[in-house]
Every structure is written in C-alpha cells, then in structure tokens.
C-alpha cells in the first residue's frame, strides 16, 4: 500500500488515536494530526483538514470513538445518551456532508442494536464498527484498483481530471486507484493530470499523490488536454464520479465533459471509476442531476490576488454531466460495465446482489 | 470608437507625446503613460507596458519620432546617423519581437528614400509615416470588425479565448473587433470569455476591454466552455490567430484547438479573425508550425504562491493548431473566407491583389 495516501487511519487499540493528513497544508507540507478527542476531529472536518465523501464518513466514525471511549456512564442508557451527545456534536461540523450523517447513523444503529452488551463491551463493539467502516472503504478502493488496472497496459499513459484519489478516501481512491494498482502489478505507467480549475485539485492533490507514489506525473492546464491528446500522448482516460444516473450519464467535476468530448474526437477510451454507492438509479439520466453553481471568488481570487476587473460577471458551475455514450466503461468494486446503458447497469447491480429490494 | 481601447496613440503635433496604457497594471488600474522621449518608450516596450505584435510596431514607430525630433543634426547624413542610433537603441528593447524590427526598418527605409528632404522636412516625413503605421493598424482592425460583425446577429452570444483585443493593437483588436463593431451596428450581444490559463489573458484583458465597452461579458474557466456550449448558451465562437498555414490550419493560444473540437461537437460555427499578414503561405499546413513550449512557472506560480508540489513535472505548450476542417470561416481585412482550404485562401489573396509577386 502506498504510504503516501494514508489519509486517515487509527493508531493502536481503543486507547490510541486517529491519525490524519492535514490537507489544508498540501502540497506545501504533509503534516499528520493525531486526534485524541472528538473536538480535534470536529475541527479537522470543519476546516477541511479531512475532505472527500468517503474519508469524511471514516473520520466521523473515528470521531465517535474519540468522543465516547472516555464515557463514565454507569449503564447502557446513560452510555447511549453520551453517544447521542457525541454524534450530535460531530454532525454539526459539516451539516451538508451526506457521508458524515451516514456514518454517525450507522454507529448509533449498531449501539442500539447491541442490547446484550454492557458499557465496556459497547465501546469495543463501536470501535470494531469504526474500523469496519474504514476497512470497507479500503476494500472498495482496492477492488476498484484491481478491476480498473486491467484496462491500463504496461507502458501506457493515462490522463485524469480533478482528484479522485486517496485523499478523498481511507485508502487509495477511485480513479487514482487504477494507477496505484497498475504500479503494484509491476506496470510502468505515466499520468497527465489536468490542473482542474478553479480549485486546482489536480495540480495540488493528484500531482502530490502520484509523485509520492513514484508514478510519472505531468501537470497541464485544462486547456492543454486537447493538444496532449492530439500529440498522441494519451492512451486512456480515467476519472471519478460524483453521481451516476441509471443510464450511465456521469456527473463529475466541471471540465470532465469537455475531456470526454476530446476523448471521443481522438478515439481514446474514457473510463469512469466509482463505487456502486455512487449510482443514483432513481435518476433516469443526467438531465435529472442538478448542477451546483459556486461562488465567483473561486475563479477570480482562488490562490491569488484578484486577477479580473472588479464587477465582471462569472459563471462557475461546479460539475458537468458526461453522456454515457462517451463512456467506454464504468469500473465499480464489483467489476466492469462496458459501454454502459440502463440495461447493462441494472444487470450489473442484479448480478452482484445489489438490487435486494427488487420485487419486494 | 470605444474610449476603452486607446492602447497607444499620438497626442498633438511633432512636439506632442505618445500616450499609452500601462498594461502591466491591468485590470487593477488603467493608467496612461505619456512618453516624451525614446527612453520612456524603450522602457514601456521592455517591461511589456505595451504588448501584442501590432501595438509593438506602432510603439516602435512613435519611439523613433520621440528619439529624433530633437536631433541637432545640421545635414541629412548627420540626421540619418542620429536616426540609426535611435532605431538601434529601440531594437534592443525586445529583440524577439518581429513587428518591432518591421516598424524600425520601415522608418529607416522611408528616411533613406527621401533624398530630396532637409532635416526639418525629414522629421515631418517620419512623423507622417509613424501616424500612417498607426492608421493602417486601425484600418485593419476596423475592416476586420466590419466584415466579422456580419457573422454575429443581434441577440446572439459569442465565446472567445485569450485576448485578441484592442490591447494588442492600436485600435480595437481582431476577434474582439467583431464584438465592438457589432455593438456599433446597434446589436445587443453577449460574450463568454475563457479565462485562458496559464496567463489569464481572458479574465484579465478581454474581460476588461469588453466591460469598459459596456458589452455583457461573463468569465469562465477554460474547462467550463464545454458545459456552457452544452447548455445552448453559445451561438458563435470568434478567436484570433498567431499564424495561419496555407490550408487554413490556425495556430493560436493553447486551448483554442479544444474549443474548436467542442464547437464541432455542438454544431457551433467557429470563426478565426486575423489580418492577411497573419497568413504564412509557405507553411502548407499546421504540421509545419512549431509549437513553442514555455516555462512551468507560468502554470505553478502564475499570479499565485506555488500551488503544486515542488519538483513535479509540467508541460506548457503556448499554442496549439486548429485544423482548418474545424473553421467555419476566416475573417480578414479583405473579407470572409468560408470553409477555408488552400485553394480558397489563395483565391482570396489573388482577388485582393496580395499575390503581386506571383509569376514574377
């Protein structure tokens, strides 16, 4: 496992601590924080020291452990009250993060379900659950990498957009998992990373992760991707996803759609790498996915002094939707969906037992 | 004429001064400099207070006037020696700028050809020549605008990349001339301006020019152009050119090629606006045009603190080539070449008397 993407993990037993990379200091400095109480974790989530949906879920679960392991509750009910106080507190750190609530709910449910355990055993049971959440996230990343790396041959060069990397997960990411796994399989690969304006997740985070792993990485401006493809330098394209509709239309960081059009023009396979949890089967296609519009300050003041005239208008869509016709395959933790459409995606879910509620 | 793009002009008679916008202060501050001697002009060219090929040519010509108008030469030969000293001096300000040498040569040739003039008359003759250079550049811009604006209807929205604007010329630019001219024809238009990484000529200069002219302008990151086209917001695309091959393949600021691919995908007409002097008929196609590669610091330190890991690789091509098949038309000062190819471009030059040497 690449040491470079130990985004978040637990050190030691129940008396240990949660160690995480302070991502606000990247790429200038890679400093780890040892959180020993829930206030430290609350602060880390709040100020984006830990970010990315899966990583936030893991952070929340570990934050619960930090909050309740010192509970002086004499009985189960008192302990559950302490637990609720901790989860309510952690929930206030980033109220819009879906994975935060998902993880806190899961911890509460486990505690309530374990009616036969005393306080000491409950603490241990929750500790095991937090590590299970971490483990599942790692397993998901590994499975994505395992399947995805079959699509990238020794000696090939890939292009990626934004940061679908280890820094957003407990392990080595989604799209970037493909590169790490290819390297582990002994393949020599190279990666072009779009800088990914306006917030530069490509040049700041993807470049940092790949450089640390010893993978040949070259940063380009987003506007250069077409030229690099035209020069014949790119064999495959791998991106992550924020949300995938039932037909395979994929919402991801703004600019992904343009990359998919350029890939089509140059006949380069364009792959989406994302866990099945990213699919929103209730959205029939990309038109059902709303595009978040964000503040102009990300463009005209991001990482710099004001560099545009005062008062000029901006348009700053945070995401775009890539039509499934542009997608050569979607890689999930269960395998590969070639030339995805609604029928193939449903088959994939069915074959992997992910449509349990079907017919009920 | 839009007051906002008085990039460079002469104020008064031979005893007057050259007034120019200090572009190093844009868009934060629009300050004009009055150059009254050649040292001031040398400095303005050197430190890029005036930039853009046509504008540099005009600056050089006015710089010659500032240098020789005070000449104490008693006869023609002594004056020509003073003139050579001035042009040699100005030539050292930016030794790679082709238009600088073109203008200085033209001023020297005019003086040497005027064998019947005394010193006072020579000074006046050179002054007229400098104003002719300025006038020709303005005429070129106006003609580009006049022809180009016929392609943009009232109520339409255009997209442009980089700054093919007045700040690079003595008047109102090349691609941007289309927008200024459309406005003068009473059309209400809107423009999306790509910010144009890495040096942000779009967000810094194009946005400034259009905002000053009262044209509705919205800045987007380069990666957002595809999304904006997909949303149906763009009717036409207008860009400038650094060099156009005989078949219409067009070298322009990096990212232009990607815009052309996106335009093709969305069925949006893509227009190149450039004077005939931009054509390089000796290059049969775009493959003959070398792509300048520039320093990584433009990407990772441009307008900001270092925002990438130390030591990471960069690729920074300054230009790309758009194949002529992507170009709906090239607008020159002589008219419009629809669906350009080698034969149509040669016809355009022949019909406008620009192939005088043919057959000789």
Scanning B151-190 for CB atoms below 8 A from A yields none
Work out the widest C-alpha separation in chain A, in whole angstroms: 69
Scanning B275-334 for CB atoms below 8 A from A yields 291, 299-300, 303-309, 311-317, 320
Measure the CA–CA gap between A273 and A177, rounded to whole angstroms.
Answer: 9
Binary contact (A262, B261; C-beta < 8 A)? yes
ipTM for this model = 0.86
Domain spans, chain B? 8-142, 143-358
Residue percentage of chain A with pLDDT more than 90: 72
In this predicted structure, which of A44-53, A236-245, A264-273, B312-321 has the lowest mean pLDDT? B312-321
Residues of A belonging to the active site? 242
For A75, which DSSP code? Answer: S
Helices A98-113 and A53-68 pack at an angle, to 10 degrees, of 40
Binary contact (A224, B196; C-beta < 8 A)? no
Scanning A218-237 for CB atoms below 8 A from B yields 218-228, 230
Calculate the CA dihedral of residues A277, A282, A285, A288 and round it to 10 degrees. -110
CB A183 within 8 A of CB A213: yes
Which residue is it, tokens 């819009």? Answer: A96
Q: Could you tell me which residue, A42 or B312, shows the higher pLDDT?
A: A42
For A293, which DSSP code? Answer: B
Binary contact (A314, B219; C-beta < 8 A)? yes
Residues of B in contact with A312 (CB under 8 A): 203, 207-208, 211, 217-219
pLDDT per residue over B36-56, tens digit each?
A: 999 999 999 998 899 888 899
DSSP-based three-state secondary structure for A44 = helix
Scanning A5-64 for CB atoms below 8 A from B yields 27-28
Binary contact (A222, B299; C-beta < 8 A)? no
Q: According to the model, what pLDDT value does residue A306 have?
A: 57
pLDDT per residue over B194-203, tens digit each?
A: 999 988 889 8
pLDDT per residue over B85-106, tens digit each?
A: 999 999 999 877 778 988 999 9
pLDDT per residue over B10-45, tens digit each?
A: 999 999 999 999 988 888 788 999 999 999 999 999
Residues of B in contact with A197 (CB under 8 A): 195, 197, 221-223
The whole-angstrom distance between residue A119's C-alpha and the CA centroid of its chain comes to: 34
Q: What is the mean pLDDT of residues B324-335?
A: 96
Token pair recorded at residue B44: 């303005």
Burial class of B4 by CB neighbour count within 10 A (0 to 12, 13 to 18, 19+): buried
pLDDT per residue over A211-247, tens digit each?
A: 989 999 999 999 999 999 999 999 999 999 988 999 9
Mutate to test the interface with B, among A205, A308, A314, A321 (most CBs of B within 10 A): A308
Cβ-nearest to B305 among A262, A303, A314: A303
pLDDT per residue over B169-179, tens digit each?
A: 888 899 999 99
* DSSP track, A88-103: HHHHTS-TT-HHHHHH
Mutate to test the interface with A, among B30, B258, B289 (most CBs of A within 10 A): B258
Binary contact (A200, B227; C-beta < 8 A)? no
Q: SS3 letters for B179-241?
A: HHHHHHCCCCCEEEEECCCCCCHHHHHHHHHHHHCCCEEEEECHHHHHHHHHCCCCCEEEECC
For A195, which DSSP code? Answer: -
Calculate the CA dihedral of residues A257, A259, A260, A263 and round it to 10 degrees. 170
CB B330 within 8 A of CB B142: no
pLDDT per residue over B331-357, tens digit each?
A: 999 999 999 999 999 999 999 999 865
| CA nearest neighbour of A162 among A259, A230, A227 | A259
Residues of B in contact with A220 (CB under 8 A): 299, 314-316
Total residues found in chain A within this entry: 360
Q: According to the model, what pLDDT value does residue A303 have?
A: 53
Q: According to the model, what pLDDT value does residue A304 have?
A: 53
Classify domain B8-142 at the CATH superfamily level: translation initiation factor eif-2b, domain 1 (1.20.120.420)
- Dihedral over Cα of B269, B153, B155, B207: its sign: positive
Q: According to the model, what pLDDT value does residue A32 have?
A: 95
Mean pLDDT of chain A: 91
pLDDT per residue over A169-186, tens digit each?
A: 888 899 999 999 999 999
Binary contact (A27, B262; C-beta < 8 A)? no
Q: According to the model, what pLDDT value does residue B29 have?
A: 83
Measure the CA–CA gap between B87 and A61, rounded to whole angstroms.
Answer: 73
Residue of A nearest to B306 (CA): A28
For A268, which DSSP code? Answer: -
Q: According to the model, what pLDDT value does residue B172 have?
A: 86
Residue A13 CB neighbours (<10 A)? 8
Measure the CA–CA gap between A299 and A311, rounded to whole angstroms.
Answer: 13
The angle at the Cα of A88, spanning A19 to A173, to the nearest 5 degrees, equals: 40
Rounded to the nearest 5°, which phi and psi values hold at B159? -120, 140
CA-based nearest distance B203→chain A, Å: 5
pLDDT per residue over B277-318, tens digit each?
A: 888 898 999 998 887 787 787 777 655 555 566 777 778 787
Q: What is the mean pLDDT of residues A96-108?
A: 88
CB A303 within 8 A of CB A200: yes
Binary contact (A307, B204; C-beta < 8 A)? yes
Q: Could you tell me which residue, A262 or A290, shows the higher pLDDT?
A: A262
Q: Could you tell me which residue, A251 or B301, shows the higher pLDDT?
A: A251
Q: According to the model, what pLDDT value does residue A94 have?
A: 85
Mutate to test the interface with A, among B302, B308, B319, B321 (most CBs of A within 10 A): B308
Mean pLDDT of chain B: 91
CA-based nearest distance B100→chain A, Å: 29
Cβ-nearest to A312 among B219, B224, B306: B219
Helices A38-46 and A53-68 pack at an angle, to 10 degrees, of 160
CB pairs under 8 A between A and B: 184
CB B56 within 8 A of CB B97: yes
Q: SS3 letters for B41-68?
A: HHHHHHCCCCCCHHHHHHHHHHHHHHHH
A1 pLDDT higher than 50: no
The string over A338-347, giving b where at least 16 C-beta atoms fall within 10 Å of a residue's C-beta and e elsewhere, is eebebebbbe
Q: According to the model, what pLDDT value does residue A5 have?
A: 64
The whole-angstrom distance between residue B212's C-alpha and the CA centroid of its chain comes to: 18
Q: What is the mean pLDDT of residues A62-75?
A: 97
Q: Please tell me the CATH code under which domain B143-358 is placed.
A: 3.40.50.10470
Q: According to the model, what pLDDT value does residue B144 have?
A: 96
Token pair recorded at residue B288: 């003959």
Q: What is the mean pLDDT of residues A199-214?
A: 89
> Which pLDDT band, with edges at 50, 70 and 90, does B5 fall under?
low
Residues of A in contact with B218 (CB under 8 A): 312-315
A38 pLDDT higher than 50: yes
CA-based nearest distance A35→chain B, Å: 26
Enumerate residues 6+ apart whose C-beta is below 8 A from B79.
B68, B71, B73, B111, B119, B122, B123
Q: What is the mean pLDDT of residues B107-120?
A: 96
Q: SS3 letters for chain B?
A: CCHHHCCEEEECCCCCEEEEECHHHCCCCCCEEEECCHHHHHHHHHCCCCCCHHHHHHHHHHHHHHHHCCCCCCCHHHHHHHHHHHHHHHHCCCCCCHHHHHHHHHHHHHHHHCCCCCHHHHHHHHHHHHHHHHHHHHHHHHHHHHHHHHHCCCCCEEEECCCCCHHHCCCCCCHHHHHHHHHHCCCCCEEEEECCCCCCHHHHHHHHHHHHCCCEEEEECHHHHHHHHHCCCCCEEEECCCEEECCCCEEEECCHHHHHHHHHHHCCCEEEECCHHHEECCCCCHHHCCCCECCCHHHHCCCECCCCCCCCEECCECEEEECHHHCCEEEECCEEEECCCHHHHHHHHHHCCCCCCCCC
Residues of B belonging to the active site? 242
Binary contact (B254, A224; C-beta < 8 A)? yes
Binary contact (B230, A257; C-beta < 8 A)? yes
> Which pLDDT band, with edges at 50, 70 and 90, does A2 fall under?
very low
B220 pLDDT higher than 80: yes
């Amino acid at each position: 496992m690449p040491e470079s993407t130990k985004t978040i993990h637990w050190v030691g037993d129940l008396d240990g601590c949660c160690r995480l990379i302070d991502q606000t200091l990247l790429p200038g400095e890679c400093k780890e924080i040892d959180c020993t109480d829930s206030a430290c974790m609350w602060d880390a989530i709040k100020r984006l020291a830990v970010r990315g949906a899966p990583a936030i879920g893991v952070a929340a679960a570990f934050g619960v452990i930090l909050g309740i392991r010192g509970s002086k509750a004499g009985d189960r009910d008192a302990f559950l009250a302490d637990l609720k106080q901790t989860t309510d507190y952690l929930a206030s750190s980033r109220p819009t993060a879906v994975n935060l609530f998902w993880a806190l709910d899961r911890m509460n449910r486990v505690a309530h379900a374990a009616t036969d355990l005393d306080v000491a055993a409950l603490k241990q049971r929750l500790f095991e659950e937090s590590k299970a959440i971490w483990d599942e996230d790692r397993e998901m990343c590994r499975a994505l990498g395992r399947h995805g790396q079959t699509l990238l041959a020794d000696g090939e060069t890939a292009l990626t957009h934004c940061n679908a990397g280890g820094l957003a997960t407990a392990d080595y990411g989604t799209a970037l998992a493909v590169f790490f796994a290819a390297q582990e399989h002994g393949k020599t690969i190279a990666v072009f990373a779009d800088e990914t304006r306006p917030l530069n997740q490509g040049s700041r985070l993807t470049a940092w992760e790949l450089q640390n792993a010893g993978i040949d990485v070259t940063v380009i401006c987003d506007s250069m991707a077409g030229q690099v493809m035209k020069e014949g330098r790119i064999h495959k394209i791998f991106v992550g996803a924020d949300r995938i509709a039932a037909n395979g239309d994929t919402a991801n960081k703004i600019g992904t759609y343009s990359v998919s059009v350029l890939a089509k023009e140059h006949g380069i396979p364009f792959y989406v790498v994302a866990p099945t949890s990213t699919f929103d089967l209730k959205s029939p296609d990309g038109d059902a996915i709303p595009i978040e519009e964000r503040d102009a300050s990300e463009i005209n003041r991001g990482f710099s002094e004001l560099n545009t005239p005062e008062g000029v208008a901006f348009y700053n869509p945070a995401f775009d939707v890539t039509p499934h016709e542009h997608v050569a395959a979607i890689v999930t933790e269960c395998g590969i969906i070639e030339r995805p459409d609604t029928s193939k995606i449903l088959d994939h879910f069915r074959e992997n037992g992910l449509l349990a509620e079907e017919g009920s």
